[in-house]
Amino acid sequence: MKFDDKVPIYYQIKTYLYYDVLTGKLKPGAKLPAVRQLAVDLTVNVNTVQRALTEMIAEKTIISQRGKGNFVTEDQDKLAQLKEQLVMSQLAHVYDQLHRLNLSDSEIVASLQRYIDQKGAPQDVERISD
């Protein structure tokens, strides 16, 4: 996995797992890969995986059972709440950043709409073959 060297790896692993949980790739009650396996998959040390998990366990997003494995919480309300928080924090962040750049509320929405509209449209990349 590719990591951003500006953010601690354990923190990026936490984010990575959040997305797996919140998108249902890991469903409520599902067993996570073993910590040693995750460490191999992510090409990091077991302790780094454990550090990420320890925080998620403290938050009760992950339920740890010694000798058995780590499991996604079955509390669906909690998961829905987490997803809402995540969406909101993303929106708040982008809003703040663009607002700081002096874009008005309507310009912010318009620029996002424009980005989405043009996203699929052909960029000016060089065409190599058909």
Partner DNA sequence: TATAGTGTAATAGTTAAATAGAACACTAGG
Partner DNA sequence: CCTAGTGTTCTATTTAACTATTACACTATA
Q: Is 58 in the site for a copy of itself (CB under 8 A)?
A: no
Rounded CA separation 52/41 (Å): 15
Rounded CA separation 81/40 (Å): 31
First to last CA, the chain: 31
Rounded CA separation 43/68 (Å): 23
Nearer Cβ to DNA (65/123): 65
- Residues between 74 and 113 that touch a copy of itself (CB under 8 A): 82-83, 85-95, 97-98, 100-103, 105, 108-109, 111-113
Q: Which does 36 bind (CB under 5 to 8 A by kind): a copy of itself, DNA, none?
A: DNA
The least CB distance from residue 32 to DNA, in Å, is: 6
Q: Is 2 in the site for a copy of itself (CB under 8 A)?
A: no
Residues in Cβ contact with 11 at an 8 Å cutoff, skipping those fewer than 6 apart? 52
Q: Single out the residue of 42, 63, 67 nearest to residue 54, CA to CA.
A: 63
Residues that bind a copy of itself in the complex, under the rule CB under 8 A: 4, 6-8, 11-12, 15, 18-19, 22-24, 82-83, 85-95, 97-98, 100-103, 105, 108-109, 111-113, 115-116, 119, 123, 125-130
